[in-house]
Amino acid sequence: MFTDFSSFDLSRDGVRVHGRVGGQGAPLLLLHGHPQTHAIWHRTAPALAQHFTVVAVDLRGYGDSGRPQADAQHVRYSKREMALDALAAMHHHGFDRFGVLAHDRGARVAHRLAMDHPSAVERLMLLDIAPTLAMYQKTTEAFARAYWHWFFLIQPPPLPEALIEADPVRYVRSVMGARHAGLAPFAPEAMAEYERCIAIEGTAQGVCEDYRASATVDLEHDRSDVAAGRKLAQPLRVLWGEHGVVGRCFDVLALWRERALQVSGGTLPCGHYIPEEAPRELLAEALPFFLQRTDPGQRP
């Protein structure tokens, strides 16, 4: 799926960060969502690599990145820690300023990365999310029914982990297949990767800790930003699937305008899994947005 890309691994604070890099030009970081890996970009990364140096990373707990042991405060899986992993990956390739294109959980990491390290992120495009704090605060019955996994995965261990580990492939297929287009959008080789990685020892704990962090320590970080009046200053473009849950349950642009100074966006003709359901439409949005870069990417 990434024939012209090379794999890389690095260690940050003892946690493995795995990904692929390819292309040439200004640096662009790609971050995936749940329950997937960097393989979500297989339909868009080759085209992006014609214009950018593309770095696609597996989040900790997912793919072939590390799965650190959980801690009581869920700090090891906070979006702040995941953002530092992503930053380390970009520094590893010689970039300290870059664009970010991110989906789902990765978009939450990108939000934190841009807040904590504003000089590193020049512009960002977030796919099919509203701000985490707002989504919890404005949860409705319709949202809770559609995003049941948000509330299942945050339950205390070991029950969610045990249920996932009992049949990890079924978990992946159930979560992904329950969306707008079912399993049809996913290439067999991509599904094989998602199924392989969900079965790696420690993945169930990592996935649950990702969500537990979002319901605890990540909300503390978000509340701190709101209380201090901190907002994203970078150009932010948000896109969501017209057949997805996020746009149906939330006023996406209004919520992001509460958290960022320069916001634009709209819908794409798909459901939640934008990079795989609507790759051409996504590229039509991403290429002009990221080609507006004001600098070619600074090297440390």
Q: Which residues have a catalytic role annotated? A: 104, 272
d(CA 30, CA 107): 9
Question: For the chain, first and last CA: distance in Å?
Answer: 31
Question: How many angstroms separate the most distant Cα atoms in the chain?
Answer: 49
182 φψ region: left (φ > 0), alpha (ψ -120 to 50), beta (else) = left
d(CA 2, CA 22): 9
Helices within the chain (DSSP H only): 45-48, 79-92, 105-116, 132-137, 141-146, 148-153, 159-166, 168-177, 188-198, 203-214, 217-228, 245-249, 252-257, 274-277, 279-290
